[in-house]
Amino acid sequence: MGTPAFFHRPGANGRRGTRSVTLQMERQRLQVAFLLPLFLALLVLVLVPMLSLFGLSFTNYKLNSSQIRFTGLQNYLDLFRDKDFLNAAGNTVFMVFWSVLLQMVLGVAAALAIQRMRRLRGIVQALIVLPMVIPPVVAGLIWRILLIPRYGGIHALLSGLGITDAPAWLTDPVSARWVLVLVSVWEWLPFVVLFILAALDSLPISPFEAARIDGANFLQELFHLTLPLIRPVLSMVLVFRIVEGLKIFPLVFSLTQGGPGRNTEELTYFAYSEGFTKFRVGYASASSMLMFAVLLVLIVLFYGRKPKEKRRVKHQ
Amino acid sequence: MVVNKKAQRLSALARGVFVALLMFATLFPFYWTLLISLKNQNDAFQVPPDLIFVPTMENYQELFVNGDFGRFFLNSFIVCFFSIVLALAVGIPSAYIFARCEFKFKKAFFYILLVTRMSPGAVFVIPYFIAYMKLGLLDTYLGLTLIYFATNLGIIVWSLRAFMEDIPITLEEAARIDGCSLLQTMFHITIPLAAPGIASTAILSFIFSWNEFLFALLLTRNKVQTAPIGILNFIVFEKMNWGVIAAGSIVIALPVIIFGIAIRKYYVKGLTQGGLAGD
């Protein structure tokens, strides 16, 4: 406490005697007044709930009973023996992995193609945002309408191409999972495209001219020049997509409700059905805590090594 | 050279086809949904689908007249609007301090904001549900507004800080020399100059809140149900009327599509600044 507050600029402090002392006091008072609401909001609305979730995960709390008992690590031990939880974790990994992989590969390809467009680029860039700005639950409903067997738009398209033996998309265990992967690719590919396009647009021209003079072909240019240059953006988008990929719940809820069987149940759906249909809140809290832990690890991995990377880039 | 030109033209063609396919895959679902929403039950499920039909508004009528969809729509607007106004009121001053001052725990603050922004809803929804149950805040405007306010703070403070840092500090110093207090400087110099950034950030938060699903599903019942939850009523309680569901999807998507296209250039900037510039 009591550390004087300075502007970033060196020498902004301590000029002109008394005036600057009052200025500093003014600045400090303003700081406290301006940050206090944020501090209180974060404390009450973010930190306390997070800590309560942590606390609840060590109890047997149920919504339909007033008894609550501390059970230590029991919930966590049970989770790792719970087939449904392991299934949900596996499904989450499956869906996030394939969805993010496809988004990244297609995203880079699409961004490269769009960047080289001479005409219509503005329109493409405007319309491509559509899937990612609509509510995920609406994306799910739209695709449910498209995938109605025999009458849906996808059936119409496929039979136009002569394919008539398509699976029952949402009721077949294998295809249901892939439908979720593909719909989430449809939904979030634009995000990857926009970020990579912005990165490509900001690249300097001279290395590319040099490469072309040296006779580099497209693939050499891509792997030795373009991708390394946009690596920071690629890794940021990757982390973002993984983190956001964990939020696939609305899509699952509107498309498959976790089914058929439990083939598309993912972690949030698991927590939802444990906590809000079986009322086992303590247990659901533990599963949410595990999901949260994964997120924290990702954030630390990404933001924790940030400064080092920055330094390395500077020294080069 | 001739071969080279040919190869170039060929790769341009391949690129064109690829982008065309991509755009088709992106837009076809919207086109189809729009068609279904404008067809009556009989036309909607013709095999093969009719391309020429008499468009009807009966699905939209059903949605708003019998389905009472206007109420869900209004709920969405109310909750989004108030949560963003609140988040801006708290977020703008804090972003200013973040942009211009060094203070203790600045980093800790920032990490908490980051975690807030990135956490899956599953982390918050259980404690909020229990607290709201005890406080009687389930299915109230206040309850939903509060949690949207909290989850919006992250993005608002993160990107507004970046916008305010871009404003040259010399302008503020000039105002100070002219005798403005810090408060006056902020209101007369920084906020007006950051206005475009503030507007786009507010729109971005609006999109996030409008689209939110998990909190709205579990923390509301009937009274405060928002549009993305309200539309599910047509699946659960009534016979599958896909025309009405299609109409509802279009209606819910329309405001965010307009906003999304309007701020598409900012989308990357707003998220990147917060994401990459965080020290």
Specify whether B227 is located in the same domain as B259. Answer: yes
Q: Which residues on chain B are in Cβ contact (under 8 Å) with A200?
A: none
Give contacts of A270 with chain B, Cβ < 8 Å.
Answer: none
Task: Flag whether pLDDT at B50 surpasses 70.
Answer: no
- Do residue A291 and residue B123 have CB atoms under 8 angstroms apart? yes
Task: Please count the residue pairs, one from chain A and one from chain B, whose beta carbons lie less than 8 angstroms apart.
Answer: 280
CA pair distance A178, A184, nearest whole angstrom: 10
Predicted confidence at residue A8, as pLDDT, reads: 42
Does B150 share its domain with B223?
A: yes
**Model confidence at A314: pLDDT above 60:** no
Has residue B132 got a pLDDT over 60?
yes
Question: B3 contacts in A (CB within 8 Å)?
Answer: none
Is A302's Cβ below 8 Å from some Cβ in B?
no
| Neighboring chain B residues of A272 at a CB cutoff of 8 Å | 122, 214, 218
* Domain-ending residue, one of B58, B85, B105: B58
C-alpha closest to that of A210 among A197, A227, A200, A225: A225
Q: Do residue B66 and residue B23 come from a single domain?
A: no
Report d(CA A14, CA A162) in Å as an integer. 79
Average pLDDT score over residue span B12-20: 91
> CB under 8 Å to A94, separation ≥6 — which residues?
A177, A181
Length, in residues, of chain A: 316
N-to-C CA span, chain A: 39
Q: Mark whether B113 and B240 lie in a shared domain.
A: yes
Domain that holds residue B111: 60-277
Average predicted confidence (pLDDT) for chain A: 85
Phi, psi (degrees; rounded to nearest 5) at A65: -140, 145
Chain-chain contact of A295 with B27 (C-beta, under 8 angstroms) = no
Domain shared by B132 and B254, yes or no: yes
Instruction: Kindly determine whether residue B264 and residue A129, on different chains, have CB atoms separated by under 8 Å.
Output: yes
Residue A1 clears pLDDT 60, i.e. is over it: no
pLDDT of residue B158: 85
Higher pLDDT, A302 or B49: A302
Report how far apart, in Å, the C-alpha atoms of B223 and of each of A14, B121, B143, B144 are. 57, 22, 12, 12
Write down the pLDDT at residue A181: 95
pLDDT at A90 over 90: yes
pLDDT band with cut points at 50, 70 and 90 for residue A10: very low
CA separation for the pair A256, A261 (Å, rounded): 10
Q: Which of B119, B207, B261 sits opposite A295 (nearest CB)?
A: B119
Report chain B residues whose CB lies below 8 A from the CB of A233.
Answer: 272, 276
A113 touches chain B (CB under 8 A): yes
Within this chain, do residues B50 and B146 fall inside the same structural domain, yes or no? no
Amino acid at residue number B244: V
Q: Which residues of A touch B91 (CB under 8 A)?
A: 38
The pLDDT score that the predictor gives to residue B277 is 39
Q: Taking 90 as the threshold, does the pLDDT of residue A163 lie above it?
A: no
B40 and B67: one domain? no
Instruction: Compare CB distances from A299 to B118, B169, B232 and report the shortest one's residue.
Output: B118
Write the CA distances from A9 to A5, A23, B71, B102, integer angstroms. Answer: 12, 15, 52, 10
* pLDDT single digits (tens) A63-85: 888 788 888 899 999 999 999 99
Within this chain, do residues B40 and B71 fall inside the same structural domain, yes or no? Answer: no
pLDDT for the residue A151: 78
pLDDT in tens, A200-257: 988 888 888 888 888 888 888 888 888 998 898 898 899 889 998 998 999 999 999 8
Residue of A nearest to B210 (CA): A135
With contact defined as beta carbons under 8 Å apart, do B112 and A47 qualify? yes
| pLDDT over threshold 80, residue A27 | no
Is pLDDT of B278 > 50?
Answer: no
Question: Looking at chain B, how many residues does it have?
Answer: 279
At A136, the pLDDT band (50, 70, 90 cuts) reads very high
CB-nearest to B19 from A38, A114, A138 is A114
pLDDT at A224: 85
Whether A13 has a pLDDT exceeding 60, the answer reads no
Distances in whole angstroms, Cα of residue B252 to Cα of each of A135, B85, B235: 8, 21, 16
Do B115 and A299 make contact, defined as CB atoms within 8 angstroms?
yes
ipTM: 0.90
Both B224 and B237 in one domain: the answer is yes
Q: Are residues B167 and B185 in the same domain?
A: yes
Which candidate from A38, A159, A295 shows the least CB-CB separation from B94?
A38
Quote the number of domains for chain B: 2
Query: CATH no. for residue B112?
Result: 1.10.3720.10
Nearest beta carbon to residue A249 from set B47, B109, B213: B213
Chain B residue with the nearest C-alpha to that of A12: B173
Residue B250 has pLDDT above 80, yes or no: yes
Give the CATH H-level superfamily of domain A74-310.
MetI-like (1.10.3720.10)
Q: What is the pLDDT of residue A20?
A: 64
Contact flag A110-B22 (C-beta cutoff 8 Å): yes
Quick one: B25 and B68 in the same domain? no
Give B55→chain A minimum CA distance, Å.
Answer: 18
Minimum distance, in Å, between the CA of residue B94 and any CA atom of chain A: 5
Q: Are residues B104 and B236 in the same domain?
A: yes
Helices A281-304/B106-118 angle, 10° precision:
120
DSSP string, A99-127: HHHHHHHHHHHHHHHHHT-SSSHHHHHHH
Sign of dihedral through CA atoms A81, A84, A85, A90?
positive
Question: Which of B58, B88, B105 lies at the terminal end of a domain, its last residue?
Answer: B58
**Two tokens, residue B5:** 């030109």
For residue B2, the model assigns a pLDDT of: 55
Selected for mutation to probe chain B from A9, A23, A28, A35 (highest B CB count within 10 Å) is A35
